[in-house]
Structure 1
């Protein structure tokens, strides 16, 4: 069915003459599309045959971006691009694999110096010092996988795989782990992820402990922030239990929430840009994971190259968390207490915090 009547031939050149329409169609600027195409061309080039000309890397990328941007089915895309369903399926899988190879470039594990830069941005934007990232899991909706039983059925009563993410202060993914069963708890997914294991064994090259701003000590570790579904740790802070909260604990929970909400906002940005996430994916598990991986890399790429003027309204409309209480090491509790005391002190308090609790 591939012919000159498909969208690539009919629309692509015209879209390039209208940057706003091109951005709306592909979810990125023309310059970013060209940059990405240049990186992917070696992976997407195919040889012509005696029977037909190969589909160009440009058209392969455009089909994949359109699939991610709209969530349209392969059946719909076959009529738009005049390409068979099985071919479109292979194009999307191969292109997503190719995009994931760019992970080391657009989602590298930070160096010690980069961690310090992230902490400075967190402190500036959220008033939470010594913070290296916000961690949370997002359930990616699926049509019920065949012969899967209840493994992918989550506590929200739909089928899913888990996207576990660590996000910096600019809504960029530092790390993602994709594909855990929807029935898995976020804390378990994190514990068994490569990032979680490296954090537990001190292999992430984190900055050395240092005093909180405006104080002379004690030296405090750098930490990640998460909700109450995670286990507290020397380098991972979660809220105080909702029972018997005094003012000090309420203020700590509020201050932690201001930092942690950035990961929720990142998920919102991801879903609004790549609307494949707004409805259940009718894909095999391994192919759904490929799509999510590619979308996360594209998220970072577009934020780096195009920037986003994002009004932080998602955080004001966050749904209450479904808390799963998990206990952690004693040292984590003592560090949390140090942060809580700091947020009550003249050096660490912000003027509006008592109004917000």
Structure 2
């Protein structure tokens, strides 16, 4: 009898020990799970968007100092409201149970701030209290929508518009028959992976070429973006999407022509200056030619000084960089047409002093160094 009780006692003790060990093991695993670092769905500081730049400093500038607001974003509060009404439906998202969507105004102000300053995504994330990944995702989207909303300001002219441009060059620059000035700029980028030397230009940087035709009023009438920086002058011009219609004479009105610098070939539709000036007539021609061609140089200078992301190496994918560049061009035209005196105030563009016969340089030259022009290099891909 005593031996049976001893066996039962040992069995109970063994069972209790096993149960206790299992419970201790479960408790230890639970403790490990609690101590394990949880994945962050959204950082706490990004959730406090109510004290971000849009709801804090930009709101104060909007109501109290519109001039400084315009200096930061390059557009006035009224223009931001107008632009927001044009694109709001396409960039706005619905709130979900998990989190609130980023407001359309915040997206627009982040994009304009990036274009006007070239500030990094990380600093934008801190200022606006939005994650860096969200910014990198919606900036290309907002650029696309803005370009579509304002595309009427960047279209190839029809015959009547070409004639109006000819009249403008005749009256303002004393160069009749001119339909525009053509030139190209290297926009410095971070070279894509495994690209070799395709983007490497004669300046020793990697770039995309922005080739544009500018009218008498410093507005871009056509832009072609994306040629490799290594291409020579002839290679870039022949890759120009308007090159075939220029060659067959179906683009410009009869007798119309473009003006370009020495980087471009001499054509019946593309005039250049005389390399030498042996006669008075040729000197006069070169003088008037230079006045007309200086338009495109000033247009690029204003573009870069207002949207300084173009003055810095763009560390984005090539497709995103192209979207961003064309958006700055259409914004330039829109602001040039809608706010002439605030976007380009007197003195910001090169002008001639007819009393002292001197040329006064525009203030954009002192604000920022212009992008390097396309010049003749040793590479000639015809």
- Alpha-carbon deviations, 1:221-261, whole Å to 9, x = none? 1111001111222211112335x855443432332111111
Residue 26 (structure 2) pairs with residue 26 (structure 1): no
Tell me what 1:128 maps to.
175
3-state SS of paired residue (1:161): strand
Match of residue 59, structure 2, among 2, 6, 13: 13
Give 1:125 shift: 2.0
Match of residue 41, structure 1, among 85, 88, 102: 88
State how 1:50-199 maps to structure 2 within 5 Å. Answer: 50-102=97-149, 104-199=151-246
Tell me how far apart the structure 2 counterparts of residues 98 and 320 of structure 1 sit (CA, whole Å): 29
Scaled by the length of structure 1, the TM-score of the pair is 0.81
- Alpha-carbon deviations, 1:145-200, whole Å to 9, x = none? 32221111111221110010100111100000011101112432232222222222
Given that 1:6 and 1:81 are in contact with CA atoms closer than 8 Å, whether structure 2 keeps it comes out as: yes
Give 1:42 shift: 2.2
Tell me how far apart the structure 2 counterparts of residues 320 and 97 of structure 1 sit (CA, whole Å): 27
Match of residue 264, structure 2, among 230, 235, 240: 230
Match of residue 263, structure 1, among 287, 291, 296: 296
Given that 1:136 and 1:186 are in contact with CA atoms closer than 8 Å, whether structure 2 keeps it comes out as: no
Ranked by relative contact order (alpha carbons within 8 Å, sequence separation 6 or more), the top structure is: 1
Match of residue 239, structure 1, among 240, 249, 273: 273
3-state SS of paired residue (2:51): coil
Tell me how far apart the structure 2 counterparts of residues 270 and 320 of structure 1 sit (CA, whole Å): 14
Residue 350 (structure 2) pairs with residue 313 (structure 1): yes
Tell me how far apart the structure 1 counterparts of residues 336 and 296 of structure 2 sit (CA, whole Å): 15
- Alpha-carbon deviations, 1:34-70, whole Å to 9, x = none? 1111111122111211111111111111000000111
Scaled by the length of structure 2, the TM-score of the pair is 0.76
Worse-matched range after superposition: 256-265 or 141-150: 141-150
Tell me how far apart the structure 1 counterparts of residues 58 and 375 of structure 2 sit (CA, whole Å): 45
Tell me how far apart the structure 1 counterparts of residues 269 and 377 of structure 2 sit (CA, whole Å): 19
Given that 2:184 and 2:374 are in contact with CA atoms closer than 8 Å, whether structure 1 keeps it comes out as: no
Give 1:291 shift: 0.9
Worse-matched range after superposition: 113-122 or 245-254: 245-254
Gapped runs of 5+ residues in structure 1?
A: 209-220, 326-357
Gapped runs of 5+ residues in structure 2?
A: 1-45, 352-358
3-state SS of paired residue (1:137): strand
Tell me how far apart the structure 2 counterparts of residues 125 and 174 of structure 1 sit (CA, whole Å): 18
Tell me how far apart the structure 2 counterparts of residues 320 and 289 of structure 1 sit (CA, whole Å): 18
Given that 1:32 and 1:306 are in contact with CA atoms closer than 8 Å, whether structure 2 keeps it comes out as: no
Structure 1: which 4+ aligned runs deviate by more than 6 Å? 317-321
* RMSD (Å) for aligned C-alpha atoms: 2.4
Tell me how far apart the structure 2 counterparts of residues 8 and 193 of structure 1 sit (CA, whole Å): 40
* Bigger Cα Rg: 2
Residue 284 (structure 2) pairs with residue 284 (structure 1): no
